Every structure is written in C-alpha cells, then in structure tokens.
Amino acid sequence: MAPSQETHTHTAAPPRQAPGTLGIGMVGYAFMGAAHSQGWRTAGHVFDLPMRPALAAVCGRDRAAVDAAAARHGWAAAETDWRALIARDDVQLIDICTPGESHAEIAVAALEAGKHVLCEKPLANTVAEAEAMVRAAEAATARGQVAVVGFNYRKVPAISYARRLIADGRLGALRHVRAAYLQDWLVDPAAPLTWRLQRERAGSGALGDLGAHIVDLAQYLTGELLTGVSAISETFVRERPLGPGPAAGLPDRAATAERGRVTVDDAALFTGRLASGALASFEATRMAAGRKNALRLEINGELGSLAFDLERLNELSFHDHTEPAATAGFRRILVTEPEHPYLEAWWPPGHALGYEHTFVHQAHDVIRTIAEGAPARPSFADGLQVQRVLAAVEESAAKNSVHTPVPS
C-alpha cells in the first residue's frame, strides 16, 4: 500500500491501552496483513506473555475494504491514513505489511513518533532506504524502542532447532549451503501484471520476494555472513496483461487486453561464500512449474548434514557422519517435542504445526523483546545486511547479462 494523503476524522480520541497490553496498529491488510492478524490474535491465547497484544486499528486506503478487513480479522478500528494510525494513543507498535516502496517512510515516521515497529521483509527497496531505517532504529533503540524485520521462517520450530544443532557443533566446520525457493504462479504468460512485477513498487522480483528469505536463513542458520556473490537472473515474460489481481498480488483471470512491462526478475541464481570459506548456492524463482511454495535448505559440514523442506515443515533430515558407515544415513527428526523451540505451548508430540504458526511465534518474540528490553532479532541491521546481499546480486547479474554462445 503506497503512502496516502487521505485523512480520517475521529469523532472521539482513541482510548489509551490498559496497563499490560500492547496496542498494535497495522498498515496493509492483504495476504501478509491477514497472516500478521492471525499471529497477533492468537499469540496471547497460546503463550503466557508479559503483555497481551490488542488489535487496536488497521490501515488501508480503501475505506470499504479496510472496514471489511477490520471486521474479518478482529481489529477494533480502521484508518485510511497511516499517519493517523501512528498518531493514535492506543497504538504502541506499528506493523508494516505494505509493498516495499512505503516501508522506509512509514517505519522512520513511526520510530520518530516513539512507536515500536515490525516491518515485513525485504526491509526496503534499496540499500539507501534500509540504511535510513537502521539509523532511525538505532536512535529509537536508545530510547527503549524495538525495531524488528519480519523474516517469519526463522520462527519455524524445525529451522530454529537446526540453528541450535549447528551452533552446538553437530555439523563441525561448514562446507556447503544450498538454498532454493521455488514457486510457479508466474509460469502462465497470461497472468496479469501486479505490483510485485513493478520495480518502483516491489524493488525486485523473485530475488527480493523469495531470495530475501533464503539469504536470511543461510546467514541465520550458519551464524555467518555472505562475503561475496556471483549471479545471473532472467525475466522470462517481459510483458503481461494489465489486470487488478487480488490484493495479495497473485494472478487472477480478470486481465484486460492492454499489456504492461515487467520490470523485475522472474528468477535469480547466485553463488556465494560465507565468512568461514564455506560455499553457498541460491535459487529463487516464480517460474518453477509445479512448485507452489517449495523452500529447501541443505547444510553440509565435516561432521554431518542437515536438510529442511518447507512443505514438510515439522521435520528435519539429519545425517551424523561420525557414525559407522554400515548404519549411517539421513534420519528424520520430527520437530514436535516440547523440548523443541516454541513447542512447549502447543499440542502433544506428533501433532503438526503449519505456516500460520510462524506469525504467532513472531508475535510472541516481538512482545517478549519489548517487555524484557532484549536486543531485537531479526533487527533492522539484519534486514540491511540482506538488502546489501540482494543489491550485490543485482549488480553481479547485470554484469553477467551478456549471453556468450557455448562452442559446440
């Protein structure tokens, strides 16, 4: 949702939140807005939290649509101007679920107004915007505020547990990281042009939408930063029909005959090197026919390997290379035990969780961070680091854009 100059006049000042509650104001109400609403609405009913989240107000430009979203997702009020949302006395945290073009402006304004901020990934559309957001976050942190970027896949219990195993040295020195995020919703060239396919709104295509997740996960799991990349990218369908698409930015069939230019990548492939010298490979595409939301990771070390598949998100595959070869091999770890991250609050072992639970865990972590004065994780600085990697990938891909014929 782009910034809006429209204002909404209240008949009365919004109430202040009662002690022990954290008033949430959310900007944007489509796909991510629905997921975040679920997280805020559920967290206090599952976890024993030091503060209870209160869904104070949701914001969007379309009055009828935002009113309907508020009723559907349990928000107490609706606004049509994000500035009015920030100004509300009953809002202590601004949750940004808009396209990347508006992240920096909203986040900086909210932090300067004394609010905590949760901002969806990627942090911004450019490194310069992300740097401005980090400066605002650093100043806000000194005042006791929290600024968090929404890398929700960190909150999958199996991924959190994989990080613990790697940090405990179960893989030894790392050798390889392989990461792929594959979707297919743009395979059909008749799928209409949406904001996700426009650079001025989204910043980049599959790279920022999907690649941001796997870059963050590679660095989060290994505890290391990428030090260099080499990349190629491609836009396979360069023009698409103009059509509204649903609010989530996914294709529908209501496109018109008029066409518009796609200004972002459809797919990006790149290799990299971690600080330790381990090698990494990444693939992000929205053109993998048959793959709906296939996020896959594998990490190989001198002592073993770990693998994760989002389509089986309650499981890890683990190989202990120190075991005798006659019996060694990958084994399935069902990550549903109360000893596993987040699971003590949920169901008995073997009862699976799903995608939506990552947003409940995110809300849990944000609230505890605020209440305990703990360092924000993932921080805006973490988001900036990912933004710098994405920018380096784009720069490398541009240099590698010339196709050299391979001799026969």
Tens-place pLDDT, residues 74-105: 999 999 999 999 999 999 999 999 999 999 99
Q: Domain range holding 111?
A: 21-153
Query: For 20-31, what is each residue's pLDDT tens digit?
Result: 999 999 999 999
In terms of domains, do 73 and 41 share one? yes
Query: For 246-257, what is each residue's pLDDT tens digit?
Result: 433 444 444 456
Tell me what the pLDDT averaged over the chain comes to. Answer: 92
In terms of domains, do 143 and 161 share one? no
* Mean pLDDT (whole number) for 184-193: 94
Q: Edge-to-edge strands of the sheet including 331-334?
A: 226-234, 267-274, 279-285, 174-182, 294-301, 304-309, 315-320, 331-334
In terms of domains, do 265 and 149 share one? no
In terms of domains, do 201 and 323 share one? yes
Domain boundary among 118, 153, 188: 153
- Classify residue 194: in a domain, yes or no: yes
Which pLDDT score, from 0 to 100, does residue 374 have? 96
In terms of domains, do 318 and 384 share one? yes
For residue 272, what are the β-bridge partners? 229, 280
Please give the share of the chain, as a percent, with pLDDT higher than 90. Answer: 89
Q: What is the CATH number of the domain that holds 190?
A: 3.30.360.10
Which pLDDT score, from 0 to 100, does residue 402 have? 64
- Classify residue 4: in a domain, yes or no: no
- Classify residue 5: in a domain, yes or no: no
Which pLDDT score, from 0 to 100, does residue 155 have? 98
Which pLDDT score, from 0 to 100, does residue 405 have? 65
Domain boundary among 132, 153, 174: 153
In terms of domains, do 189 and 145 share one? no
Domain boundary among 110, 132, 153: 153
In terms of domains, do 147 and 250 share one? no
In terms of domains, do 216 and 330 share one? yes
In terms of domains, do 36 and 171 share one? no
Which pLDDT score, from 0 to 100, does residue 401 have? 78
pLDDT confidence bin for 229, thresholds 50/70/90: very high
Per the structure, how many domains does the chain have? Answer: 2
Query: For 55-75, what is each residue's pLDDT tens digit?
Result: 999 999 999 999 999 999 999
pLDDT confidence bin for 355, thresholds 50/70/90: very high
